[in-house]
Structure 1
């Protein structure tokens, strides 16, 4: 399976960080661990040479005296001693004549003249009467010393001791480097499943998005974590919920609009046919009545289309609020006066409790729309000789309004929540309007940061809202 781009980015990022980390570790080791270790090794080697300086000449003379007839280069005792000395000190040791000829050496091959020349180019250090030549470079480090020794009564030679460490031939350094490489490989291998674990929920989220795009609106992305990816998944599901609700709501709205428009259109068609028939008969009085019916149906359709446009503007946030200082108490009183004839026609009694004496800032047109829709709804659904109770108050910086209409009906919680849905009507009630008034009121209140709800009370059904005051416009 081809790895995704996010997976490759995560894997390569981990790998880059790992490589940089290992390089830094190795560099820090060389600076803070390797250098002190080398310096300590140099001091230790120098101390070894100083300690044996006093006795080395006696031992060499003793070994020579054991085989006085043999040349120094063939003296077995001296050869064994020099080899043992080199092995013990982990160094290259050789004995040379005054002329520089190598007499005995502890190692195979030629004397490393180039290395000696490189060492002796540096500044010597005196310690215990011995001149040491320390050396450090990117490929070689160590210590060199030459001790004068008397090989016979007539000749004096030199005992050469070379402690060297070539980079990267040292087994310890090689082990350390290969250890870092091995650790890096192990971590890189472990990063692969970790990267897949991180990208797996993203792939699931992508598959969910494709399924929803293909029309499966009920599908939701699986959430298995509480991290940022889990939060992204929850936000995605929340978006899917809203999209599903909007799409289903749009379909329901289209169906409801079609149904609502069909009735007045059917009445207009029938009235038109009757009008044509009456016109041909010359019945002027009946013709006037049918024209009046057609006019009322056209008015109803125009009112419904206007409310639909208002609802659509609120849904797409096109409506712009214009806050201004207003008097809600006066607006409520004006509406009570306007709806008074309708209430008197049904013998509806009104009760008002208005306790509002502070300035309030809101959109005047939006506020008037909400109050008008609530009053109109209350008058329509209050039975004859019923009661409409209005309460208006102010708490802190919010306006509180409630309208209760007396009714013997008891609504369920679901019905109380759904009365704010477009075109929703309670079963058993006659259609007295478009079914959009409360839906528009809810949109307007929520757009201004308020809340609206319906509740059942002993007095009847109460629709109330809380609306915070908006910021007053600058003078």
Structure 2
């Protein structure tokens, strides 16, 4: 019985030691994983190794007469290796900065690469999740706006038919004018949401930009164009919309006594087949502090103007979207006197 009891006790001790060692290994692996995935812990590890190696080098240099001859290069070498290791660890911060810049410019499709599962990797994951959430929110807003705009078209059409039955006079004209503004607003909203998808919204075809500009001529507008302009791949309907809005905006603010609205199409020197479309008026221009906000939806520099005179602030916004969909941008500036808008195509 004593032999059996002793064997049982030894087996129990063996199992206890095995479980204790297993728990120790689990704790070691857990702490090792935390160390590997913690930027701060790895930086502390590098500093400790750097301090130990530097101490050993200095101690070794004091043991010989010519220790400084090899100790100084060795210290520089160890410091350089430590710097390279630290630079490698914080390298993902550059990708994070590039991602933040892309998000700031509105490119929510950009994703920050995740190199390590440390604090920087967790931050990159949160950045990507934030971009996805914002994109989902914008997509939901766009879908809601498109649905509302489509639903408003039918009652607006019925209201216009009923307005046609009103007796002739000022009331009928005012009612039809208001309904026309509502129709234009809904059309502009729908078009702005379509252009929100960028180049995918375009239906490109060969377009003669000079001939297209001639079609937009009307009283008070003069055209200046180069000869033998190249044919470009553009969305004809969207470029027409851009020209029409820019010319309408210029005519509304132009001073005919100074000069007519000038529509010009010229080659861009040194850029092959690139063309620049420019519309300039001779009005009073806009306040310098308002230039950066022009092109934003529903923004008007003069909030005191009536809607019938100043529109609702979607014309330049549509022009900006058309330009961006073609890979360009709408450039706006005061021309002294007047105001100038230009877009580069090609």
Query: TM-score band, normalised by the shorter chain?
Result: 0.5 to 0.7
Are the structure 2 counterparts of residues 450 and 460 from structure 1 closer, same or farther at C-alpha, using a change threshold of 3 Å? same
Structure 2: any 5+ residue segments left out of the alignment? 1-26, 43-88, 107-130
Is contact 1:356-1:394 (8 Å) kept? no
Out of 215, 232, 240, the residue aligned to residue 360 of structure 1 is: 232
User: Quick check: 1:398 aligned with 2:240?
Assistant: no
- Residues 8-19 of structure 1 aligned to structure 2 (within 5 Å): none
Out of 193, 199, 220, the residue aligned to residue 35 of structure 2 is: 193
Q: What residue in structure 1 maps to residue 315 of structure 2?
A: 437
> In the TM superposition, what is the alpha-carbon distance from 1:289 to its structure 2 partner?
3.0
User: Quick check: 1:297 aligned with 2:178?
Assistant: yes
Following TM superposition, where does structure 1 have runs of at least 4 consecutive aligned residues deviating by more than 3 angstroms? Answer: 185-192, 236-247, 316-320, 428-431
Normalising by structure 1, report the TM-score.
Answer: 0.40
The structure whose RCO (Cα within 8 Å, separation 6+) is larger is 2
Are the structure 2 counterparts of residues 379 and 294 from structure 1 closer, same or farther at C-alpha, using a change threshold of 3 Å? same
Q: What residue in structure 1 maps to residue 297 of structure 2?
A: 422
Q: Distance in 2 between matches of 1:452 and 1:226?
A: 38
Is contact 1:455-1:461 (8 Å) kept? yes
> In the TM superposition, what is the alpha-carbon distance from 1:330 to its structure 2 partner?
1.4
Are the structure 2 counterparts of residues 241 and 370 from structure 1 closer, same or farther at C-alpha, using a change threshold of 3 Å? closer
Q: Which structure carries more strand by proportion?
A: 1
User: Quick check: 1:235 aligned with 2:99?
Assistant: yes
Q: What residue in structure 1 maps to residue 8 of structure 2?
A: none
Q: Distance in 2 between matches of 1:195 and 1:442?
A: 45
Is contact 2:300-2:312 (8 Å) kept? no
Q: Figure out how many residues of one structure are paired with residues of the other and give that number.
A: 225
Are the structure 2 counterparts of residues 329 and 409 from structure 1 closer, same or farther at C-alpha, using a change threshold of 3 Å? closer
Q: What residue in structure 1 maps to residue 330 of structure 2?
A: 452
> In the TM superposition, what is the alpha-carbon distance from 1:457 to its structure 2 partner?
1.8
Q: What residue in structure 2 maps to residue 387 of structure 1?
A: 260
Is contact 2:285-2:335 (8 Å) kept? no
> In the TM superposition, what is the alpha-carbon distance from 1:397 to its structure 2 partner?
2.0
- Residues 259-270 of structure 1 aligned to structure 2 (within 5 Å): none
> In the TM superposition, what is the alpha-carbon distance from 1:434 to its structure 2 partner?
2.7
Normalising by structure 2, report the TM-score.
Answer: 0.54
Are the structure 2 counterparts of residues 376 and 441 from structure 1 closer, same or farther at C-alpha, using a change threshold of 3 Å? same
Q: What residue in structure 2 maps to residue 83 of structure 1?
A: none
SS in 2 for 1:335: coil
Are the structure 2 counterparts of residues 320 and 198 from structure 1 closer, same or farther at C-alpha, using a change threshold of 3 Å? farther
Is contact 2:261-2:281 (8 Å) kept? yes
Q: Distance in 2 between matches of 1:356 and 1:425?
A: 36
Q: What residue in structure 1 maps to residue 60 of structure 2?
A: none
Is contact 1:388-1:404 (8 Å) kept? yes
SS in 1 for 2:241: helix
**For 1:212-247, what per-residue CA distance to the aligned partner results, in whole angstroms no more than 9, with x for missing partners?**
xxxxxxxxxxxxx75235514652574377467986
Is contact 2:223-2:264 (8 Å) kept? yes
User: Quick check: 1:373 aligned with 2:249?
Assistant: no
Q: What residue in structure 2 maps to residue 87 of structure 1?
A: none
Are the structure 2 counterparts of residues 234 and 324 from structure 1 closer, same or farther at C-alpha, using a change threshold of 3 Å? closer
